[in-house]
Amino acid sequence: MSFQNPVFIPGPTNIPERLRKACDMPTIDHRSPLFAEILHPARDGVRKVIKSAGAEIFIFPASGTGGWETAIANTLSPGDRVLAARNGMFSHKWIDMCQRFGLKVQVVDVPWGAGIPVARFEEILTADTGHGIKAVLATHNETATGVRSDIAGVRRAMEAAGHPAMLFVDGVSSVGSMDFRFDDWGVDVAVTGSQKGFMLPAGLAIVGFSARAVAATETASLPRTFFDIRDMARGYEANAYPYTPIVGLMNGLNEACGMLLSEGLDNVFARHNRIAEGVRRAVSAWDMMLCAASPDLHSDTVSAIRTPEGFDASTIVSHAAKAYGVAFGTGLGDVAGKVFRIGHLGSLTDVMALSGIATAEMVMADLGLPVRLGSGVAAAQEFYRAKPALAKKAAA
C-alpha cells in the first residue's frame, strides 16, 4: 500500500492536515477548565452540523456502533417493539444489535439497493393502534449499497399514522456530508462517528438526543453503564467525563466542525453532490450500474457499483490495493462479490476523485472487464470542467 494515495473507502476518510494537527496534542488535565474549552465548543459544533437548536450532544469514546447502542440502551426496555427496514449491511447490523438486546424488531426486508419503504412503514404504524412500537430505526445512508433514504418521508409517515414512536436515525455516513435536519425531521436520536463526514480518525461515537429521547431514559430499563447518557450529562455539567475522554480527537472534532461550518454546510453538501455526480457519470460511461435502484436514492457519499454476472467484484478491491496501492470498498453481506464501492466523502476534491476513477479503470482493464481506459475519467472531467469548483475564486 501507499501512504501517499487518497483512500476511496466510505470511511475512515482522508484526514486533512489541519485535523491531523488538531488531534496531535500534548496531554492536558481532562478535569481542568482547559478541557471545557474543547468539550463545549465541540458539542455546539455538532449541534449546528446536524441542524438542531436544542439537541443534547453526547460524545463517547467508541465508534458509530457504540452510538447505535447509546440510542437503544438509554431509551428502551427489554421486550419493547421497534420497526426497522433492512436494505444493507448497516441497517442489518443495527437490527441484529436490537435483537441481541432482547427487543422485538419488526423487520421490513427490502431488496439491497432499495430505500426505506415509507408507505409500508405508514401501513405498519397505522395498524399499530395500541402504539406498541416504541421506536422507528432509519439508516439515512446505507453505506453498503450507496442508498440514501428519505428521512423526512419516514417522519411524515409517522405523522400520517398519528404514531408517537421515537425516530432514531443512523447518520454515520451522511452527517457532515449530506443534508441532515435533526429538528425539521423530528429526529429523536441521531447517531454518527468521527471517521466519516468529520474527516477524523475513528474513535468517537457522536449522538444527538431530543428532549423526548432524554426523558425516555428515566423509564428505560435496558442495562447500560458505559453508554449511560445520564452519567455523561452529569459529567458535562462539571466540564468533565465519567471516565477518560479522547481529548485529542475531541479537539479534532471541534476543529472539524469549524471547517465544515466555515465552508458552509450548503457548500459542503454541494461539493459532495458534485464529486459524487462525476463518479456516477464515470459509472455510466463504463456501461455499469449502481446498486441503488433509482436516481432519487443515489448517495452522495458512496457509490456501490455492480459488476457483471459471474465476475467476483472483490478482486477489484484486492487488485487495486496490490497493484496500485489504492483502497476501494468491498461488497458486504448480500452484495459481497457483486459490487465494489467508491467512497467519495469527507476531504476530497475533483482532482482526487479523478485519480480514483482512473485507478478503477486500470484495475478493471487489468482484470479483463470491458472498460475502455479514459472513458469514465473523460465523463467525469466533462462534468467537473463544465462548472469548475473554484470558478468564483479563479475569476476574482
Ligand X SMILES: *Cc1c(COP(=O)(O)O)cnc(C)c1O
Residue ranges in contact with ligand X by CB under 6 A: 11, 63-65, 90, 139, 141, 143, 170, 172-173, 193, 202
Spatial distance between the Cα atoms of 214 and 209, rounded to a whole number of angstroms: 6
CB of 194 to ligand X, least distance (A): 8
CB of 90 to ligand X, least distance (A): 4
If the CB atoms of residues 64 and 245 are measured against ligand X, the closer one turns out to be: 64
CB of 273 to ligand X, least distance (A): 18
Q: In what order do the strands lie in the sheet with 289-290?
A: 289-290, 302-306, 339-343
If the CB atoms of residues 63 and 330 are measured against ligand X, the closer one turns out to be: 63
Instruction: Identify whether the C-beta of residue 59 lies closer than 8 Å to the C-beta of residue 69.
Output: no
CB of 332 to ligand X, least distance (A): 10
H-helix or E-strand spanning residue 270: helix 265-285
SS3 86: strand
If the CB atoms of residues 70 and 173 are measured against ligand X, the closer one turns out to be: 173
**Cα-to-chain-centroid distance, residue 250:** 18
Write down the residue that cell numbers 459481497 correspond to: 336
In the bound complex, which residue of the shown chain has the CB atom lying closest to ligand X?
Answer: 64
CB of 184 to ligand X, least distance (A): 20
Instruction: Identify whether the C-beta of residue 50 lies closer than 8 Å to the C-beta of residue 182.
Output: yes
CB of 171 to ligand X, least distance (A): 8
CB of 260 to ligand X, least distance (A): 18
Cell matching residue 153: 418521508
If the CB atoms of residues 148 and 163 are measured against ligand X, the closer one turns out to be: 148
If the CB atoms of residues 122 and 142 are measured against ligand X, the closer one turns out to be: 142
Q: Which residues contact 109 (CB under 8 A, 6 or more apart)?
A: 85, 86
Look at strands 133-139 and 141-142 and give their pairing. unpaired
If the CB atoms of residues 177 and 254 are measured against ligand X, the closer one turns out to be: 177
Closest by Cα among 32, 9, 46 to 255: 46
If the CB atoms of residues 143 and 359 are measured against ligand X, the closer one turns out to be: 143
Write down the residue that cell numbers 476574482 correspond to: 396
Q: What angle do CA 95, 56, 105 make, to 5 degrees?
A: 15
Residues in the chain: 396
